[in-house]
Structure 1
């Protein structure tokens, strides 16, 4: 197949094997494929096509091929083929069922360009299964046991989704896509990664720079949160002397603070560069089984509040509008 910047004469381009209809009345052509389709169907599916095809033919069509007017399409051949397939069979894509990233990304680009709002919204809702706007849905989405009806996962997909969301102005996906990108290693963020097919996925230079800066800020916040959770003072679990007065630090606090120091100092091994405070707090996960029920329940409650606060601030972290504005 020709690359997007290769020009092929119209008479040398290949007819699409299934999207060439003998009773079609207009020919659309990408840089390498011809589609003989129906004007009415195009207009019915897209207001952009409706406006385009309502113009007088002599002013609009500069070429003809086999007595049909020809319209040159500048879109990527693969993306446009997905769109034509959807025009003729809306079962070609159905939100909530597994598809391919190539199909879903192509259709999102095309539905955005050709103002097909229903299809666009359906695709964004589909992608929101893995890149949601609520913390509760996020925790479910990143759970390895969750079976998402999305597309086969691939290395670098967070970068690909962030790029796609920026390209199509699907802003509601961006905070989570950038967050999941930021949770990749610094090397991956800077250099990009290749999937199993050898396709390399990278963030834009602006987003990569932003993720690296915010990664260090978030790591500091995580350390503060770990220390805060460990230093919670609870009289219910404090060690007391015979007079009933608090005597020293409670065993729970001693263990918690010890594990935080151990974690920060790296005694238990090199700290990972990829971390997600919405799913894991390294030191707390170690000491939580060994503290009393009162301390554990209070800490879990405080941790929930910390995470919710972080989630609410997530769009602002990436210089985006609030969640409410993004959802609208």
Structure 2
């Protein structure tokens, strides 16, 4: 009797076919282009002068002659980059169409300009992106207060998943000055549960934050809520309202309790930054006498200014 084990039968299940890695020609294919830029599996025929003129990195790279045996496409040498094809498509579209209406750019375009502008030293692209981010998420309290009344320079604020995407970009590119207000928008727009499990974008895909960024938001939320209590402290006790010069203390005390209930109801499920950094709510003015209103306003203004100064520290920034 033979001790040789029987040969194993070959599996008959079909293996899935390998993905097609054949390069695809982009719509950005300049007839007089003299170089092929390949990102992922997408090729762009562009002009080396355009790249060199805008980017010191490409100027240095393209100043070195390519080996004669390098593969070409339509006689043009291929330069491969490790970025996404979508980012390059968006950036090249900006470089080749500089006079298009740019009052408000889509967020994806701003992100591509910031990423590639930083990586390849394209000052015009990077500075344009930074100016838009600083315009929308300023480091000045007065600019923050009037931001809702201005025309936006980044088109996408109403899209689901925008703020987590924005926060990821800011951390990725090290734009610390915009992180506090962008993080505040995240906490205003979503619960921690949603931010931890992932937020669905308008196109059905999901955006997630890194574990480190999730922890940062959780800690920031706790710090903000704790500080926010001090901003609204004038609603508790009698230190601010009724004021010692109030001539209708019973009425102002009663109305203060009503305002307190309104605030508690509005903030019971999610952070509302209007009570941390917002201006005085004009609807409260009609409920208090002039003296108490002024006292409460002054207390609120001082608290909001302090909150603004502390906001970066809530997110672990200096």
Partner deviation per Cα, 1:183-231 (whole Å, 9 max, x = no partner): 2322222222212211222322212212112212221222232223553
Q: Is the 8 A contact 1:26 1:38 kept in 2?
A: yes
Partner of 1:251: 250
Tell me how far 1:237 sits from its aligned partner: 0.7
Partner of 2:316: 319
Tell me how far 1:295 sits from its aligned partner: 0.9
RMSD: 2.8
Alpha-carbon separation, structure 2, partners of 1:34 and 1:269: 52
Partner-residue secondary structure (3-state), 2:67:
helix
Partner of 1:209: 215
Aligned counterpart in structure 1 of residue 81 of structure 2, from 49, 73, 78? 73
Unaligned runs of 5+ in 2: 1-17
TM-aligned CA distance change 1:20 to 1:160, over 3 Å: same
Unaligned runs of 5+ in 1: 240-249, 322-328
Partner deviation per Cα, 1:253-277 (whole Å, 9 max, x = no partner): 522653476468x6x5881223112
Aligned counterpart in structure 2 of residue 303 of structure 1, from 284, 300, 305? 300
Q: Is the 8 A contact 1:227 1:260 kept in 2?
A: no
Partner of 1:178: 183
Tell me how far 1:123 sits from its aligned partner: 1.2
Q: Is the 8 A contact 1:156 1:201 kept in 2?
A: yes
Alpha-carbon separation, structure 1, partners of 2:129 and 2:119: 14
TM-aligned CA distance change 1:262 to 1:85, over 3 Å: closer
Partner of 1:194: 200
Partner deviation per Cα, 1:246-304 (whole Å, 9 max, x = no partner): xxxx325522653476468x6x58812231122378xx877543211111022112211
Partner-residue secondary structure (3-state), 2:254:
helix
TM-aligned CA distance change 1:120 to 1:299, over 3 Å: same
The alignment status of 1:50 with 2:56, answered yes or no, reads no
Partner of 1:246: none
Aligned counterpart in structure 1 of residue 122 of structure 2, from 109, 116, 140? 116
Alpha-carbon separation, structure 1, partners of 2:178 and 2:266: 34
Aligned counterpart in structure 2 of residue 16 of structure 1, from 23, 26, 30? 26
The alignment status of 1:290 with 2:253, answered yes or no, reads no
TM-aligned CA distance change 1:224 to 1:279, over 3 Å: same
Partner deviation per Cα, 1:94-148 (whole Å, 9 max, x = no partner): 3xx122222221222111111112321221111233222222222222x4x6542
Alpha-carbon separation, structure 2, partners of 1:285 and 1:92: 41
Aligned counterpart in structure 2 of residue 228 of structure 1, from 219, 227, 234? 234
Aligned counterpart in structure 2 of residue 140 of structure 1, from 114, 135, 146? 146
Q: Is the 8 A contact 1:252 1:295 kept in 2?
A: no
- TM norm structure 1: 0.79
TM-aligned CA distance change 1:290 to 1:86, over 3 Å: closer
Alpha-carbon separation, structure 1, partners of 2:317 and 2:136: 19
| Matched pairs, number | 294
Partner of 2:46: 37
